[in-house]
Structure 1
Amino acid sequence: MSMSDTFQKRMQELHQSFIKFDALQKDRIQRYRNIEPDSALFLAMQVRIQQSKNILEIGTSTGYSTLWLANAAQTSQGHVTTLEIDPARTQQAQQYAQELQLSEVIDFWIGDAQSFLEKAEQQYDFILLDAERDAYVDYWQYLQHMLHPENGVMFVDNVISHAAEVKQFMALVKSDERFMSMTLSIGAGLFMICYK
């Protein structure tokens, strides 16, 4: 079995275990709420096609999408910085990264994403936003400057499954004439943004 097959098989196992965990949680916040497998695969393909070097993920959870991004980033000597407020989830994600030999490719940052964004000076050629949706409007003032103007692309998850919660954010992006955007009906819905 090749590394790719081993990776995909392990990711399927993790996805199944995360779904089982979520099904037992009554409180939404307690759920892992990982990205859909189709979305994760699509994003990993984007990283490969684009040969992304600087990747930012907002919302690690247990690292399902992080691992996909990191695995893809290896093809371009890229690097993933992932932000998560919950230390226990970050620790879980770190264990999976170690197991899949992806630790070198990932920086795990623990804390409120807003604090990271306020201080960030780096530009990223790939950003995945998959966090608490009520914060997106506040995040946008920082993210628009962090997205590389020439080759940067940003994806926002759950825009079809939770359309009402991201409506204001999407309207804000669409009203900015510097950007173009579209909604992709992959997984729970991905909103894709880049500079014109």
Structure 2
Amino acid sequence: MLTSQVLSRLQAIWEQGERHDAATGERAQKNLFITPDTGRFLYQLLRHANPQCVLEIGTSNGYSTLWLALALRDRPGSITSLDILPAKQQQAAAHLQDFALSDKVTLRCEDAGAYLSAQADSSVDMVFLDADRSCYAAYWPALCRVLRPGGLIVVDNVLSHAAECADFIRLVLATEGYLAETYQIGKGQFVIVKD
């Protein structure tokens, strides 16, 4: 259960991240956190679906990772979270440790394309995609292969960065066997189910 204390801690991390990003000009130094309502949305999806294998592409400082891990804290599922920036993953590791969630998440400093190519078919129940949007179309064939039937992909920032996501969204919508919809939650969530 998400207690008011946990929600307050999550809100404080988000507010601190927003202040940091407002004062930071360099993109690589920004936190780029999901919004709290996006976190609640992800939490709800995971609590309902009870996935065993969750893949997060784009750890950043681990704010979204916290929401994912909290949803699975009392369940057997686990999360693998990928990012190419070691400093951000170190901060994510500290957040997970602060919430006693380190055992739920494997942080990997690795390119998502390389990671996906090494995974077995139908081995992932859910993907949260929040990384370099220019790579999404290239990831799509591998995402289709590793996602199990009935599995979900949630893509962040599809409204706030609509132009950057447009080609990927068209590609997904043109792929037989997938149903997708955009939801006006946070910065826009594109939810894809493998039918």
TM-score (norm 1): 0.95
Cα distance in 2 between the residues matched to 1:147 and 1:4: 32
Quick one: distance in 1 between partners of 2:67 and 2:187?
17
Query: How many Å apart are 1:116 and its aligned residue?
Result: 0.8
Deviation at 1:118, TM superposition (A): 1.6
Measured after TM superposition, the shift of residue 132 of structure 1 is 0.6
Q: State the match for 2:168 in structure 1.
A: 169
User: What letter is aligned with 2:29?
Assistant: Q
Segment drifting more, 82-91 vs 4-13: 4-13
Asked if 1:186 is matched to 2:168, the reply is no
- 1:141-195 CA deviation, whole Å, 9 max, x = no partner? 111111111x311100000000000100000000011111000000000000012
Equivalent positions of 1:53-68 (< 5 A) are 53-68=52-67
SS in 2 for 1:18: helix
Aligned residue for 1:131, secondary structure, equals coil
Residue aligned with 1:32, SS: coil
CA distance in 1, matches of 2:27, 2:2: 34
Aligned residue in 2 for 1:98 = 97
Partner Cα separation in structure 1 for residue 105 and residue 182 of structure 2: 28
* Aligned residue pair count: 194
Residues 40-189 of structure 1 mapped to structure 2, 5 A cutoff: 40-121=39-120, 123-149=123-149, 151-189=150-188
CA offsets per residue over residues 105-147 of structure 1, 9 Å max, x none?
0000112212111212261111100001000011111111111
Equivalent position SS for 1:76: coil
Separation in 1, partners of 2:34, 2:118: 27
Deviation at 1:78, TM superposition (A): 1.1
**Deviation beyond 2 Å, 4+ runs, structure 1:** 2-6, 27-30
State yes or no: 1:23 paired with 2:22: yes
The Cα shift of 1:31 comes to: 1.2
Aligned equivalents of 1:3, 1:157: Cα separation in 2? 22
Query: In structure 2, what is the Cα distance between the partners aligned to 1:52 and 1:5?
Result: 25
Which blocks of at least 5 consecutive residues in structure 2 are unaligned?
Answer: none
Give distance in 1, aligned partners of 2:176 and 2:112. 26
Residue 12 of structure 1: aligned partner: 11
Distance in 1 (alpha carbons) for counterparts of 2:17 and 2:132: 18
What residue ranges of structure 1 are gaps of 5+ in the alignment? none
Query: Post-superposition shift, 1:3?
Result: 6.7
Q: TM-score, normalised by structure 2?
A: 0.95
Paired-residue identity, %: 38
2:3 aligns to what SS in structure 1?
A: helix
